[in-house]
């Protein structure tokens, strides 16, 4: 399979799911990697993403990290076109709306679904059309479930975009949760006849066991719905790409269940990540988890910091709220004790701000003046304009790259310079996300941590985080190539949903 750009509208596919976390992001990335290995020029797309894990493109646009990783799977540079609407929750009821990579304000869920979302449909369709005019294929990811009947009127990410752009829909179900046949059938049966015309079939994800035992059920499902199953992907550990939400490390799955490679030196290193509210870009610790002999876990109790060789205070969409949470749970006092004992702490972005002397916030929390933990000589003032940059620099004698996403402007009044932040003893702070993905710098930093912790830990000389990511994306491509009907998938992408698909009652309620 090999195609050049035809100059017309490229093919497309929408990967929907029976639920959130069914595997849409992973399947989308896998299809992108499979296609690009076949010589197809492909791009990912997600009209609307809700996530606190975001990334900064080279043009300074903020998009979801999942779409950035899908772009890497497709071997293309991520752009704002690939995720035109990003919602960053600030509470259970409101989110910051990021449009074409730039924040345009806070909005309640009611306000967004009450009209604003429909207004964005034109922008979303224009972005998709531009991508389809440039690429041979665009693999779109839905959000949640397409059968969320309470939100269908304002939907711009599932069936709303599938119908407007005439995209075939592949519904992914997580069989590891159970109930996958009911979920597949119910998803189709709750869609209107017009929506059902675009639902081409199903893809089973995370199957364990003998596929022959599943096949009778797949045949029954096809008889019931008139729609075939395009593949059964086996369960494999450590295949999640950068997650939208949830406490996960993408290279190893759940951190609390991670299997740590044998250390190169005599000791392991224990890393505790404070699971603060509205935690953002917790993928920063993925690179640490990829190191042989490094154990990473998320913690929410002060006693869990006691045996940690390094504590990370990560980014957050609610710096003041996270600061209050640390104090309420005794973690703030535990961090102060670590500082007094000369034991390593790393603050990243919001975590860096928390470690400072005080915060002036009339933007995010509107709390005004708030005292920080006072562990670093830093004063933070929140600006209405968001900083979105891709800095490059040097630290610990090694080149470093990162990206910045923050409203807080830091005034550093002392300490040693460290990635545009500072260091005092073994307390480190920076606004740079992603810095630990720079292999030489990560090794140098871990050597410093090991020395301060008194551990005989030695970083592996050959761990390449970039190579591990590529291997992971290739594994996703292998899953699609080996366990899906790729010829049938390509026909969907190129020609759309089959004609004459039957209607499954009752359909969407009036």
Q: Which residues carry out catalysis?
A: 349, 433
Per DSSP bridges, beta strands 358-361 and 169-174 are unpaired
- What SS3 state is found at 87? strand
Give the integer Cα–Cα distance in Å for 177 and 207.
10
Give the integer Cα–Cα distance in Å for 170 and 138.
14
Phi-psi region of 496 (alpha: psi -120 to 50; beta: other; left: phi over 0): left
Radius of gyration of the chain (CA): 23
Backbone angles phi, psi at 306, to 5 degrees: -60, -45
Backbone angles phi, psi at 508, to 5 degrees: -70, 140
Q: Which two tokens stand for residue 490?
A: 């390509």
**Which of 72, 61, 64 shows the shortest CA–CA distance to 101?**
61
**Which of 65, 53, 56, 68 shows the shortest CA–CA distance to 391?**
56
Do residues 162 and 492 lie in contact, with contact meaning Cβ atoms separated by under 8 Å?
Answer: no
- What SS3 state is found at 483? helix
Residues 6+ apart with CB under 8 A from 314: 273, 274, 276, 279, 280, 281, 282, 284, 285, 348, 349, 350, 351
Give the integer Cα–Cα distance in Å for 264 and 251.
19
How distant, in Å, are the alpha carbons of 328, 385, 408 from that of 366? Answer: 20, 15, 13
How distant, in Å, are the alpha carbons of 220, 249, 301, 366 from that of 268? Answer: 51, 18, 22, 42
């Amino acid at each position: 399979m090999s195609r050049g750009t035809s100059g017309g509208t490229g093919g497309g596919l929408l990967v929907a799911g029976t639920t959130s976390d069914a595997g849409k992001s992973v399947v989308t990335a896998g299809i992108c990697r499979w296609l690009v290995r076949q010589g197809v020029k492909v791009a990912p797309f997600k009209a609307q993403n809700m996530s606190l894990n975001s990334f900064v493109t080279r043009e300074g646009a903020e998009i979801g990290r999942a779409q950035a990783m899908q772009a890497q799977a497709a071997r293309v540079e991520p752009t704002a076109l690939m995720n035109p609407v990003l919602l960053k929750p600030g509470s259970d009821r409101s989110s910051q709306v990021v449009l074409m990579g730039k924040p345009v304000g806070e909005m309640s869920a009611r306000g967004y679904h009450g009209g604003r979302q429909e207004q964005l449909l034109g922008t979303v369709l224009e972005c998709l059309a531009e991508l389809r005019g440039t690429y041979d294929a665009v693999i779109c990811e839905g959000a949640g479930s397409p059968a969320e009947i309470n939100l269908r009127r304002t939907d711009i990410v599932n069936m709303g975009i599938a119908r407007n752009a005439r995209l075939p829909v592949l519904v992914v179900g997580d069989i590891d949760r159970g109930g996958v046949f009911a979920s597949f059938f119910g998803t189709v049966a709750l869609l209107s006849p017009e929506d059902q015309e675009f639902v081409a079939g199903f893809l089973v994800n995370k199957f364990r066991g003998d596929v022959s035992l599943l096949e009778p059920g797949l045949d029954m499902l096809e008889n019931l719905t008139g729609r075939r199953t395009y593949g059964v992907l086996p369960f494999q550990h450590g295949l999640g790409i950068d997650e939208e939400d949830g406490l996960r490390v993408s290279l190893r799955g759940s951190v609390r269940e991670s299997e740590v490679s044998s250390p190169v030196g005599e000791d392991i290193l224990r890393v505790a990540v404070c699971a603060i509210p509205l935690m953002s870009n917790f993928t920063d610790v993925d690179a640490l988890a990829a190191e042989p002999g490094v154990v990473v876990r998320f913690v929410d109790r002060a006693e869990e910091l006691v045996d940690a060789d390094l504590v990370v205070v990560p980014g957050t969409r609610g710096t003041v709220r996270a600061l209050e949470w640390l104090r309420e749970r005794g973690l703030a006092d535990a961090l102060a004790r670590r500082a007094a004992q000369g034991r390593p702490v790393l603050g990243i972005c919001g975590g860096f701000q928390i470690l400072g002397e005080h915060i002036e916030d009339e933007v995010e929390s509107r709390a005004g003046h708030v005292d920080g933990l006072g562990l670093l000589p830093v004063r933070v003032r929140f600006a209405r304009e968001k900083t979105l940059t891709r800095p490059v620099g040097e630290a610990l004698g090694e080149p470093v790259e990162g990206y910045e996403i923050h409203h807080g402007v830091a005034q550093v009044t002392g300490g040693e310079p460290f990635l545009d932040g500072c260091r005092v003893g073994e307390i480190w702070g920076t606004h740079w996300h992603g810095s630990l993905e720079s292999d030489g710098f990560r090794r140098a930093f871990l050597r410093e941590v090991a020395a301060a912790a008194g551990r005989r830990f030695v970083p592996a000389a050959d761990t390449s985080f970039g190579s591990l990511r590529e291997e992971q994306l290739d594994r996703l491509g292998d899953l699609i190539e080996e366990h899906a009907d790729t010829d049938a998938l390509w026909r969907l992408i190129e020609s759309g949903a089959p004609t004459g698909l039957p209607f499954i009652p009752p359909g969407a309620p009036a």
